[in-house]
Structure 1
Amino acid sequence: MRFPRRLLRPLGVLVGLCVLLGVVTAGMAFPVAGGLGVLSNEAGDSVTSSSVDLVNNRAPLTTTLTDSDGRPIAYLFDQNRTEVTSDQISPAMKAAMLAIEDRRFYEHGGVDWQGTLRAVVANSASGDVVQGASTITQQYVKNYMLYVDAQTEAERLKATEQTPARKLKEARVALQLERQLSKDEILNRYLNIVFLGNGSYGVAAGARTYFNTTPDKLTVPQAAMLAGMVRSTTQFDPVQNPETATERRNVVIDVMRDQGMIDEAQAREATDSPLGIADPLVRVPNGCIGAGDTGFFCKYVVQYLTEAGFSEEQINRGGYTIRTTLDRRAMEEVKRSLDDQVAPDTPSVANVMSLIQPGKEKHRVLAMGSSRTFGLNADAEETSYGLPYQPVNLGAGSTYKIFTAATALEKGLGINYSMQVPPSGYASPIYVDGGGRPIPVANASDGLPGRMSLTDALAQSPNTAFIKMLEFTGVPDVVDMSVRLGMRSLATTPFVDPGTGTRTDRSIAEVIKEQRLASFTLGVTPTSVLELANVGATLFSEGMWCPPSPIESITDANGEDVPITEESCQQAVEPGLANTLVHGMAQDDISGTSAAAAQAAGWDRPMAGKTGTTQQNKSAAFVGAVPEMSGAVITFDNSNRPRPLCDGGNGPFACANGNIFGGKTPARTWYGAVKPLLDGTPVTPLPPTDPRYLEGGAESRIPDVVGRGLSAARGELEGAGWQITTRTVDNTAPEGTVVGQEPRGAALPGEQVTLQVSSGSVPAPPPPPGAAEAGDGGPPPDGGDGDGGPDGGGDPNGGGPPPDDG
């Protein structure tokens, strides 16, 4: 008997299908039968393993970063997918998908042989795909293999190849899966995994992308459009092909009506409605680039999580909700103040700031930002480099004098110590060039008094005084103090050889200590703005250092808490030292180098601050703190060839001879951001001082001999080990009486004590009123902070000792 030609093809297909059915049945009944490779032990194990993975593993989900109030700031994903439960999906959506993709879903056991035979006949007769053969269970298996298992393009092609072996495995896994999960669970998982075009994976993403709604609110026409896109997200894209998409949607509606899912009136109303898609589509920006002004903070969060042990794959596929420490209002004020001082499109100039909340158990990062917009368009002065937390190579100037002062307090001096202020041109034995020759040190202003308290020195920032103090403290201990208080990257960042540009296996801190580079106290080393802000947080936490943490909590897709390993807090210095140093830095806004900026901002509460400027004014910095928050600002030329910066009326700009100082743009930025955040809140006093760190320890105390006769005074001082010099002054006290002593109260070991001895004569009359006394100790003009530091070689990645300090 001969069959007509038109029947040969479908008959052949039917025969092949019968054979396939027999193989699958045999495979399920006898998974280790021999004779066919597809039914080997290996194949059976593969099917079992796949079904176990399907049951236990989730599809990639979108991770959401939120601010401290729970409002989203960024989304991180490989696939834009938000998982929802079955009761969070509208009945219309489920009905539409079942109607067009698998009408017998609740009747078959994973493979619909009846539907498959019908589809084979229909498709063979037409010569095209007019009916689908795969069940929703099979489609779920295929989607899982494609979107979860496949990691490479080759694996993705293999997951969708049209071969009998793949189809057989898909069918066998589907049959096994139906024994492990309920029908409703399979349908829900399928609706969560299916791709719906335009970057939308799953119905939650699809509902948001096309209709700006949630899946529980999807209407019949909306659900029908989404279900219709499963066959081809390109052909039925409602943006690119609205007419075709509408026709396909109406086909789904008609099928829903024919199957009794909706009545005639509902079908007519649905088909008459417009597509109604959002214009533009509601796309979820992927990654920190879509986070706007919080992009730098977002990038820091990702880096922090990576360093804590999270992989990039975990973050981008885990579906976490990461509640951060970001304070939305603080972020707004920081960004506003940064941009007020330096316009975002200013060529080659960056103004960056970080803000941290002190605490003995956690230092929360409240905000960080840059005047430069976070982005990828370099022509528009955008950058994605972590400016507010990565080290700035130009340094932070005299803010590093904080570390010298802290070391001096720890070694026995007090904050009231009267320190020597050598005049400009001072040649220190430790401040030398490569050949060991002393290099004169200069101050930003002349006429300073010969001695001033450590408190006044922190406010007025004479370089010579701190280089002189460094002779006592030693460079290595000051470097270690900086790391303890917060500059941790100095101990972890490799030193780059300035001659060859190659990285070494030693850290910057190690090289500075080994070479005893005295310019360290002038702040020439690479500085992280975030770490500098954390120094203030450490001091206002009674000396307790904690890592600057951006994480409040992490929960997984099930709402379960996910632990994160953060570095433990450490007592960096004694509480009394930290509290007293805070008081020692409390004059900067009153008589110090940021006084003008503080006055202009209307600053009216206690604070601790320190300015900094590097040589040639290529960068300037300010660190300021109150009990509620600590912040740091650095303004610098961030081009490949930094030039000096001038502080003009419209903000800093590159110039030939710089005049920017820490008391200018950086201080104005800090006061401009912090004051609005504190307005209307109670004024918190500074912590109490510790007498031990006010006047110094016993090792630094010297006898007070004022009023004694010279012979007795000399005997007492020399007996205590101090060297004495004398100077005769006109005074009405009896001749030979000590009427003055420098230093008085405390002194550096080995420091010479000068006694002023009365001549017994009447002193000269005072100068007429209005005459200025040289060196009144007032703040340097125009916010200058007496800073400086190398611009060229000597200090790792920053420079060596300068001939002067700008």
Structure 2
Amino acid sequence: MFARATGLVKLVGLCLAAGVLLAAVMFPVVGGLGLASNRAADTVDQTSGELAKGELPLVTTVLDMNGAPIAYLYDQYRIPVSFDQISDTMKAAIIAIEDKRFFEHGGVDWQGIARAAAKAGADGEVSQGASTLTQQYVKNYLAFVIGGGSDEAYEKATEATAARKLREARVALQLEQVMTKNEILTAYLNIVPFGNGTYGVGAAAKAYFDTTPDKLTVPQAAMLAGLVNQPSVLNPGNGVEAAIKRRNTVIDRMRDNNAFGQDKAAAEAKATEFKAAEAGVVPDLKLLPNGCVGAGDGPVYGFFCRYLVDYLTKYGFTEDQLLRGGYTIKTTMDPVATRAAKEAAEGQVPKDTEGVANAMAVVEPGADKHRVRALAANRDFGNNAEAGQSAYSLPAEVTRFGAGSIYKVFTAAAALDKGVTGIDKEIDVPNVYTSKVFKDGSKPYTVRNYSNGTDQKMTLTKALATSPNTGFIILEEKAGLDNVVDMAYKLGLRETMHDVNNAGDPLKADGSNGPSQGDQFKQDNSGSFTLGPGATSVLELSNVAATIVSHGTWCPPTPVEEVIDRDGKPVPLKEPACDQAVAPELADSLAVGMSQDAVSGTAAGAAKGFGRPMIGKTGTTENYWSVAFIGATPQYAGAVMTFTDGVAPQIICNAAAPRLCGNGGTIGLTGGEVAAPTWFNAMKVIHEGKPVVPLPPAAPKYK
């Protein structure tokens, strides 16, 4: 008796609901009726218009310089399709199981509501939902588009309240006035989830059957149609038995809805045949790779992908836009250069070497753009350290380790700029020197050369090749530390000098963990700057070399050629403009001054067989925790850093292969031993087939 009474109450409620909905059709409400979404101020009319437009979250595709896909970024895996690209069997299957009167009602199935009300009156339970495809489209749009697919949004879009159902029905009624039935059916099939992270029939057909929606057979279409009821439970990725059982229920509904013709015997025979078919699901679901982990066959593109995402979010995009916008991003990544850098880095330091990373960046110089052609490391980009992976952007981010004597390039450039010396002029290079300007705490600052030499003087060009410490401390005194630090910024260490502190940590907006690394060296009057002890970015070192051989023009190291939106229109980026960092004559003269390292300097052993005019400079930090090399031809610039990436930094020693060897009294690796060979091994491949281009001549002013 109580159940019957409860059913009568529900019957009255449903009748009242029907009355309200009829009134809504006859007297449209303008504004004020909020929706069950995360934007409570939206009106029904606004949301109806948004649903009619139907702009869905789409996959962003990342392409290399040749137009080949290298990665995909998405929140929802979806392949949008048109009405004509969906098989009639798929349309018949979804209508049969979800809304058999779809082409007869106006958005709300009054007969279905009446049946539900009658059922409620008979047994006290509403066992028939009476939710149309149009209403389901509204619900899914609110949950997965407006709400972004969050748990909160899904709960709001599906909450079991009369108010929510009324609002959903009202929007459905409005949609039926502005969209055709075919448009609504297509929109529904493009938005609904099918399990395993797939949304829409395009992605589902590809994932489960490795086909397209227009080629779906009856058993395939019926299986997909059955998934939308409970996609996480019924999808064949979790086991085919439940999926086949549900599929066969759909086939029966299709038969009952005359999808196989009105001849009952023939329709029954077809249904029996279709239900006997095997599941037909591909052994390995064809799911689209998502994100930077695993990008590229190998994988080898993950570090570039990570830098790309960071770059785009810094200069014009939000991460949500990238994951939902359906952009096509044409990048600057050269797959040949990337693989060459990867093989060279891993060839010198195997990926499973404990605590030793070897990272390389390659940038193409230019007057209007510095294109990043490769970012690679001996590690793969990923979260499994035991498999030789790293989640840190090793070639692109500012590491906490120094580049050693490479920073002498900035001292040389500042000395040339201030007229202190010229590339052919001799400078003092005593074996030991105590500075008259810089201090080591309360004591005078004393430096020694790596090895005692007989020369007490040498040209700046020879000094850049052989790297005596004392000579560059003297030049730093004469040129001024502030000018040397500023030169490092001008030539390319812009993030390194301005945006991080001495530990390499990004500066907080309130400056509480500052000052910047560059300001810290200035404030401390630290002469050690020219010896490169501070945090450094491999990519920015590469861009320094690119700036020098670009006749002094600095450009941001960009990974982006062009961004195209879903409508085929280019999207501008807010990238920094290129600037003339130093005079072209100064840059060209500095390049000539750096041209002997690969001939008779610290990189000569590694450079054998390269045979091209180039600039170069090795670097080794005083504690032997890191070594580096930068170099460039007029066609390509690059940098390599080998550094300790374990929890506790140690000296890197070079035995049969680089290894950690503690921190006690051991002379470790130098920049000419691992970093330089990595550079030359990669650049030999990258330069194959390219003409030999000479360096520009030095200006008389800077000789």
| TM-score when normalising by structure 2 | 0.91
Q: Where in structure 2 are the equivalents of 1:741-756 lying within 5 Å?
A: none
What is residue 760 of structure 1 aligned with on the other side? Answer: none
Give the match for residue 690 of structure 2.
681
Q: Which runs of 5+ in 2 are unaligned?
A: 262-266
Equivalents in 1 of 2:301, 2:122: separation in Å?
59
The residue that corresponds to 2:264 in the other structure is none
| 1:269, distance to aligned residue in structure 2 (A) | 4.8
Asked whether the 8 Å contact 2:354–2:659 carries over to 1, the reply is: no
1:230 aligns with 2:216: no
Identity %: 49
Written as runs of structure 1 = structure 2, the 5 A alignment for 1:340-355 is 340-355=347-362
1:474 to 460, 477, 480: 480
The separation in 2 between residues aligned to 1:564 and 1:234, in whole angstroms, is 39
3-state DSSP class of the match of 1:631? Answer: strand
The answer to whether residue 297 in structure 2 is matched with residue 281 in structure 1 is no
Say how many residue pairs are matched: 682
Does residue 636 (structure 1) correspond to residue 643 (structure 2)? The answer is: yes
1:106-121 equivalent positions in 2, closer than 5 A: 106-118=103-115, 121=118
Structure 1 counterpart of 2:598: 589
**1:454 has 2:463 as partner:** no
- 1:442 aligns with 448
Q: 333, 338, 353: which is aligned to 1:331?
A: 338
Q: Deviations over 1:167-220 (max 9, x none)?
A: 111111100111122222221211111011111111122122212233333332
* Cα distance in 2 for residues equivalent to 1:37 and 1:253: 39
Q: Paired residue for 2:70, among 55, 69, 73?
A: 73
Q: Is the 8 A contact 1:418 1:451 kept in 2?
A: no
Q: Secondary structure of 1:351's match?
A: strand
Matched residue, 1:179 = 177
Distance 1:130 1:235 in 2: 20
Q: Which position in structure 1 is the counterpart of 2:623? A: 616
Tell me the equivalent position of 1:706. none
Q: Distance in 1 between matches of 2:40 and 2:461?
A: 79
Q: Secondary structure at the match of 1:178?
A: helix
Q: Paired residue for 1:557?
A: 566
Q: Secondary structure at the match of 1:142?
A: helix
Match of 1:213 in 2: 211
- Give the whole-Å Cα distance in 1 for the aligned partners of 2:242 and 2:22: 40
Contact 1:331 1:367 in 2 (8 A): yes
1:780 matched residue in structure 2: none
Assess, with a 3 A threshold, how the Cα gap between structure 1 residues 32 and 497 changes in structure 2: closer, same or farther: closer
1:621 CA displacement = 0.2
Contact 1:421–1:462 (8 Å) recurs in 2: no
1:625 corresponding residue in structure 2: 632
User: Which segment drifts farther, 473-482 or 271-280?
Assistant: 271-280
Q: Deviations over 1:468-517 (max 9, x none)?
A: 2222211111111110000002332343599xx99544211112123332
State which of 265, 270, 274 in structure 2 corresponds to 1:270.
Answer: 274
Give the structure 2 partner of residue 147 of structure 1.
144
SS at match of 1:114: helix
Distance 1:43 1:287, change over 3 A: closer
Whole-angstrom distance in 1 between the partners of 2:503 and 2:615: 36
Deviations 1:5-49 (A, max 9, x none): 99877766554433221111112323459xx999xxx99973223
Task: Write out aligned runs for 1:271-420 (5 A).
Answer: 271-291=275-295, 292-412=299-419, 415-420=422-427
Q: Which amino acid aligns with 2:73?
A: L
Aligned counterpart for 1:521 among listed residues 512, 525, 530:
530
Kindly indicate whether the alpha-carbon contact (under 8 Å) linking 1:496 and 1:504 is maintained by their aligned counterparts in 2.
no
2:555 maps to 1:546: yes
Give the match's secondary structure for 2:374.
strand
1:765-776 to 2 correspondences below 5 Å = none
SS in 1 for 2:231: coil
**What secondary structure, in the 3-state scheme, does the structure 2 residue paired with 1:482 have?**
helix
Measure, in 2, the Cα distance between the counterparts of 1:347 and 1:72: 32
The whole-number CA distance in structure 2 between the counterparts of 1:565 and 1:494 is 21
Contact 1:637 1:654 in 2 (8 A): no
Against the structure 1 CA distance between its residues 508 and 322, is the aligned structure 2 distance closer, same or farther, given a 3 Å change threshold?
same
AA at the equivalent of 2:562: S
The 8 Å contact of residues 7 and 125 in structure 2, kept in 1 or not, is answered as: no
Which has the larger Rg? 1
- Unaligned runs of at least 5 residues, structure 1: 696-806
CA–CA distance in structure 2, aligned partners of residues 108 and 647 of structure 1: 78
Structure 2 SS opposite 1:78: coil
1:661 aligned counterpart, secondary structure: coil
Partners in 2 of 1:412 and 1:689 — Cα distance? 15
Larger mean CA deviation between 189-198 and 67-76 belongs to 67-76
The letter for the 1-side match of 2:70 is I
Which shows bigger deviation, 653-662 or 456-465?
653-662
Distance in 2, matches of 1:345 and 1:615, equals 26
Larger deviation, residues 299-308 vs 248-257? 248-257
Aligned partner of 1:137 among 134, 138, 145: 134
Structure 1: how far apart are the matches of 2:503 and 2:205? Answer: 56
Q: Is the 8 A contact 1:207 1:214 kept in 2?
A: yes
Tell me the SS of whatever aligns to 2:551: coil
Q: What's the offset of the Cα at 1:605?
A: 1.4
Q: Which amino acid aligns with 1:616?
A: N
Q: Alpha carbons of 1:11 and 1:430: their partners in 2 closer, same or farther (altered >3 Å)?
A: same
CA distance in 2, matches of 1:593, 1:406: 20
Residue 594 (structure 1) shift? 0.8
Matched letter for residue 660 of structure 1: L
Paired residue for 1:91? 88
Distance, in Å, in 2 between the alignment partners of 1:129 and 1:97 is 22
Q: 2:97 aligns with which of 84, 96, 100?
A: 100
Comparing 195-204 with 4-13, greater Cα deviation is found at 4-13
Aligned to 2:493: 487
Q: Is the 8 A contact 1:429 1:438 kept in 2?
A: yes
Distance apart, 1:616 and its partner CA: 2.6
Q: Distance in 2 between matches of 1:241 and 1:120?
A: 36
Partner amino acid, structure 2, of 1:542: H
Distance 1:388 1:336 in 2: 14
1:328 CA drift (Å): 1.3
Structure-2 separation of matches of 1:250 and 1:156? 28
Judged with a 3 Å threshold, the aligned counterparts in structure 2 of structure 1 residues 302 and 126 are, in CA distance, closer, same or farther, namely farther
What SS does the corresponding residue of 2:587 show, helix, strand or coil? helix
Asked if 1:25 is matched to 2:22, the reply is: yes
Q: Tell me which of 585, 595, 600 is aligned to 1:576.
A: 585
Distance 1:515 1:24, change over 3 A: same
Query: Aligned partners of 1:43, 1:429: CA distance in 2, in Å?
Result: 69
Answer whether contact 1:365 1:550 (CA < 8 A) is retained: yes
Aligned CA distance change for structure 1 residues 569 and 224 (closer, same or farther; 3 Å): same
